[in-house]
Amino acid sequence: MIRKIISGNEAVATAVKLARVGLTGIYPITPQTSIIEKLAEMKAQGEIQTEIVRVESEHSAMAATYGAALAGIRAFTATASQGLLYMHEMVWWVAGSRVPVVMVVGTRAVGAPWNIWNEHTDFTSERDSGWIMAFASNPQEALDLTIQAFRISEDERVFLPVMVGMDGFILSHTKTNVLIPDQEQIDDYLPPRRQPYVIDPEDPVEIGNMFPPEGYMKLRESIHLALKNSEDIIRQHGREYNKKVSPMIDYSTLNSSYRLEDADYAVVLMGAWAGDAMEAIDVLREKGIKIGMLRVRYLRPWSEKEIRENLEGKKGVLVLDRSTSFGRGGPLYIEVKSTIRDTEVKDIVTGLGGVTVGKSDMIYLFSKFVEGIKEDVTWYYPKEVGKLDVRTPRDIE
Amino acid sequence: MTLGLREILNKHNSLISGTAACPGCPENMAMRMLGMGLGKDTVVVVVAGCSSIIQGNAPYNSYNLPVVNIAFAAGPAAASGLARAYKQKGKDVNVVVWAGDGGTADIGFASLSGAAERNEDIIYVCVDNEAYMNSGGQRSGSTPLGAITSTTPEGKKENKKNLPFLMVSHNVPYVATASVGYPHDYIQKLKRAKEIDGFRYIHVLTPDPYGWLFDPSRTAEIAKLAVQTCYWPLFEYYNGKITVSQECLHCLDKRTRRPIKDFLSVQGRFKRVKEDDIAKLEKYIDDMWEKIKELM
Ligand code: SF4
């Protein structure tokens, strides 16, 4: 194992190399682009064997990745924002085919209007597609989760595609210390690819043809069950990763917690801003406010068990959502609220389109929450943003 | 190379009995001939269209080849992934994209063009029935001028998009046109395509009794008429040159062409065609043959 200062995107490219991926479908989109550039560079220098298909769109990137996976080789692609939306059709097609594939999403706002900065809406809007969905909170996790994603995806009890989210720019472009496993460690952890069926003239099978209603519904249920059951399998592969590769980050659970055990209040969030939240929690703890954090690492499967164990019995739960389901609240909030009973759950939607929400904002929000906020869902703007004069159709009227 | 009937019939049967095609279906015919031309080391990526339905409902399956069914715009890209994976595994497989004119001329054109530009090692077969027949016969970019479809009840106002020429412009190693009315010609082209590396494109005219409005017993006859009236050329493009099949050598000279009316009058979809539309169609045909002659 070596330590290197690299960006989140480079960490992902390194994971792809270590996983001995056979084919990568590539198409550039900000902020994911440097993953594929790095892969192309490694290929040009002969450091990796992976076949690179430079396709003409994200829709084709996912299709080419799917084709390679069907033929029996390990396949990877990465995307973001409009790109993920453009491949949406194929995202469903891959899950519906129950074929192992791994994708990284460098999360970013979705237009209109144009905005290249970070939020989670692109990622969360795929939550019904049948993919397992992990979310990293630092470049190290981006690397670890990408490698684990192959292991999980190719587990015969799962056979579902896995996507790994990573905050655009905040992780994708920020360089930090990353522990890079040795190839032997990964070879030991990640066995050769397994998949449910291979498309091959020697053993002709047909995939994706017209299905009668009852059969179709049964397949849908099989995806549902595989996703639900993947919970324990993810923990199992996480523990194995800790044992065989690195014990640094605990992967034995689907979610990660911070000072939660003795806490009266809990904050729930996903992604890179967990770092700011932890600092804010430390400050509030010093003031005598007993607050802790639960960071969602897997949006799918959603571990009801872990969420209940960690959150039920608290005086209140505050969810921080970096995306929204319009007219309702943040997707994380909806999930948490439908999981725990007898506990008050409030939602803050903030940080959309790259709005910076830092430690001081979190100290403010968390204390407000402990004091008792009335609204179930609040849209929060840090001071500078609140001042910006933006006219919406309603103002123009 | 000329094949005898016996030789053709001995080839791999890519279609087993009990398909869900309409009677007289030209795509069914074209699929059967695909196996005759390419043999059994073939994987077919079927793009949404009639051919997705013709194979039948799962778990039944009337295509005697491995099939990947896929959404409209994804065929050439998925085939690229498959072909590269087989190469990596050291396997010799003909990867075929099988798409209708909608999937080719319209919604799937970007991925077709992309795969052609990358010179992927795949064979793309377009089965052209000149409308979106699987959804009930709406116009496509490949519908000819004057034809009635369910979205052009007054007859289409624009000419057919000329896909074979577009593919020739992509500078790919092999482009061919065929018609289900001439199986020998089509199968020979498949065999030739099989021997060539890189991107190969074959465009097959598949007259559809239900969209073109003729009796299902006449599919082969209409497919022949399209060629005889020079509406549909039969050619091969490789090594930078076009070679015209003997079935349409007479089209090279305008004076020996059979009148287009002979082709139009046997189909219900042209029943509202006016004299000036016929003149436009004739001009389309003249221009097409001029271009072909330039490339010969
Ligand atoms: S509509 Fe035409 S192409 Fe489609 S199945 Fe029927 S005959 Fe064949």
Nearest CA in chain B to A66: B78
% of chain B at pLDDT higher than 70: 97
Q: Is A254 helix (H, G, I), strand (E, B) or coil?
A: coil
Q: Quick check: helix, strand or coil at residue B176?
A: strand
Q: What CA–CA distance (Å, rounded) separates A279 from A294?
A: 14
- Identify the residue among B16, B45, B80 best suited for mutation to test binding to A, counting A beta carbons within 10 A and taking the highest: B80
Number of neighbours of residue A392 by Cβ within 10 angstroms: 7
Report the SS3 class of residue A266.
strand
> From the alpha carbon of B28, which atom of ligand 1 is closest?
8
What is the arithmetic mean of pLDDT over A315-321?
98
Question: Ligand 1 center to residue A329 CA distance, Å?
Answer: 48
Pairing type for strands B235-238 and B174-179 reads antiparallel
Mean pLDDT, range A124-147, rounded to an integer: 98
Q: Distance from CA of residue B249 to its chain's centroid?
A: 20
Query: Which one of B15, B16, B55, B86 makes the best mutation probe of the A interface by having the most chain A beta carbons within 10 Å?
Result: B86
* Domain topology for A1-243: Rossmann fold (3.40.50)
Mean pLDDT, range A263-278, rounded to an integer:
98
Cα–Cα distance for residue pair B276/B261, rounded to 1 Å: 13
C-alpha triplet B146, B150, B154: angle, nearest 5°: 40
The residues spanned by each domain of chain A are 1-243, 253-377
- The one-letter amino acid at A311: L
pLDDT tops 80 at residue A397: no
- CA–CA dist A326, B51 (Å, integer): 40
Largest CA distance in chain A: 69
- The minimum CA-CA distance between B73 and chain A, rounded to whole Å, is 8
Provide residues of A within 8 Å CB-CB of chain B.
Answer: 22-23, 25, 51, 53-57, 59-73, 75, 89-90, 93, 199-201, 203-212, 215
Which atom of ligand 1 lies nearest, measured to the CA of B53? 5
Give the pLDDT band of residue B3 (cuts 50, 70, 90): low
Q: What pLDDT does residue A50 have?
A: 92
> Which of the four pLDDT bands, split at 50, 70 and 90, describes residue A385?
confident
Select the residue of A59, A90, A207 nearest B69 (Cβ to Cβ). Answer: A207
Minimal C-alpha gap between A62 and chain B (Å): 8
Q: Residue A75, class by beta-carbon neighbours within 10 Å (0-12 exposed, 13-18 middle, 19+ buried)?
A: buried
Contact status, residue A168 vs residue A206, Cβ threshold 8 Å: no
A206 vs B67, B81, B88: nearest CB: B67
Query: How far, in Å, CA of A242 to CA of A251, rounded?
Result: 7
pTM of the entire predicted model: 0.96
| Boundaries of domain holding B124 | 5-295
Inter-chain touch B114–A57, beta carbons under 8 Å: yes
Which whole number is the average pLDDT over A374-378? 94
- ipTM higher than 0.90? yes
Q: How many domains does chain B have?
A: 1
Nearest chain B residue to A206, by CA: B67
Dihedral sign for Cα B204, B210, B213, B215, please.
positive
Give the pLDDT band of residue B9 (cuts 50, 70, 90).
Answer: low
- How close, in Å, is residue A51 to chain B by CA atoms? 8
State mean pLDDT over B132-153: 96
User: Fold identical between A1-243 and A253-377?
Assistant: yes
Alpha-carbon span B123 to A223, nearest angstrom: 33
CA of B121 to the centre of ligand 1 (A): 29
Q: What is the mean pLDDT of chain A?
A: 96
Distance B6 CA to ligand 1 centre (A): 28
Give the closest of B68, B89, B111 to A207, CB-based. B68
Mean of pLDDT over chain B: 95
Interface A:B, Cβ pairs < 8 A: 155
Tens of pLDDT along B265-295? 999 999 999 999 999 999 999 999 999 999 9
Q: Ligand 1: which residue has its CA nearest to atom 6?
A: B22
Residue A25: per-residue pLDDT: 97
Give the pLDDT confidence score for residue B2 in this predicted structure. Answer: 59
Of B42, B58, B86, the CB nearest to A71: B86
Across the interface, of A55, A199, A203, the residue whose CB is closest to B82 is A199
Atom of ligand 1 nearest to the CA of B133: 1
| pLDDT above 80 (res B1) | no
Q: A223: closest CA among A128, A143, A323?
A: A128
User: Which one-letter amino acid corresponds to residue A199?
Assistant: I
DSSP B190-228: HHHHHHS-S-EEEEEE---HHHHTS-GGGHHHHHHHHHH
Whose C-alpha lies nearest to ligand 1, atom 2? Answer: B208
* Predicted local confidence at residue B5, as pLDDT: 62
Please state the rounded mean pLDDT for residues A99-108: 98
Instruction: Give the architecture (CATH level 2) of A253-377.
Output: 3-Layer(aba) Sandwich (3.40)
Q: Say whether pLDDT at B179 is over 80.
A: yes
More confident residue, A307 or A341: A307
H-state helical runs in A154-311? 183-189, 213-244, 274-286, 304-311
Average pLDDT estimate for B247-271: 96
What residue has token string 């015919």? Answer: B29
Please give the average per-residue pLDDT across B139-145, as a whole number.
97
CATH number for position B173: 3.40.50.970
**Chain-chain contact of A93 with B80 (C-beta, under 8 angstroms):** no
| Interchain contact, A209 vs B66, CB within 8 Å | no
The pLDDT of residue A143 = 98
Å from CA of A260 to ligand 1 middle: 63
Residue with tokens 């969420």: A307
A94 to chain B: closest CA residue: B70
| pLDDT at position B103 | 95
Q: Which of A248, A273, A259 is nearest to A181 (CA)?
A: A248
Q: Is A66 close to B78, i.e. CB distance below 8 A? A: yes
- Residue B192, pLDDT score: 95
Give the integer Cα–Cα distance in Å for A269 and B177: 58
Amino acid letter, residue B267: Q
Q: Would you mind telling me the total number of residues written for chain A in this entry?
A: 397
Residue A328 CB coordination number (10 Å): 11
Q: How far is the centre of ligand 1, averaged over its atoms, from the C-alpha of B128 (Å)?
A: 11
Nearest CA to ligand 1 atom 7: B25
**CB nearest to A71's CB, from B41, B75, B82:** B82
Instruction: Give mean pLDDT, residues B227-247.
Output: 97
From chain B, the residues in CB contact with A56 under 8 A are 110-111, 113-114, 117
Residues 6+ apart with CB under 8 A from B219: B24, B25, B26, B29, B180, B207, B209
CA A288 to chain CA centroid, nearest Å: 33
Question: pLDDT-derived band of residue A51, with 50, 70 and 90 as boundaries?
Answer: very high
Closest atom of ligand 1 to CA, residue B22: 6
Distances (CA, A) of A79 to A24, A27, A65, A75, B77: 12, 8, 12, 14, 16
Residue B50 sits at φ, ψ, to 5 deg, of: -55, -40
Position B8 pLDDT exceeds 70: no
Q: Which of B129, B205, B267 to mutate to test the pocket of ligand 1 (most atoms within 8 A of CB)?
A: B129
B36/A380 Cα distance (integer angstroms): 66
Residues in contact with ligand 1 (CB, 6 Å cut-off): B 21-22, 25, 27, 50, 54, 129, 133-134, 208-210
Contact B55 A67 (CB under 8 A): no
Q: Among A154-163, A197-206, B196-205, whose mean pLDDT is lowest? A: A197-206
Instruction: Place A384 in a pLDDT band, splitting at 50, 70 and 90.
Output: confident
Sheet of A344-349, strands arranged across: A255-258, A291-296, A265-269, A316-321, A344-349, A377-379
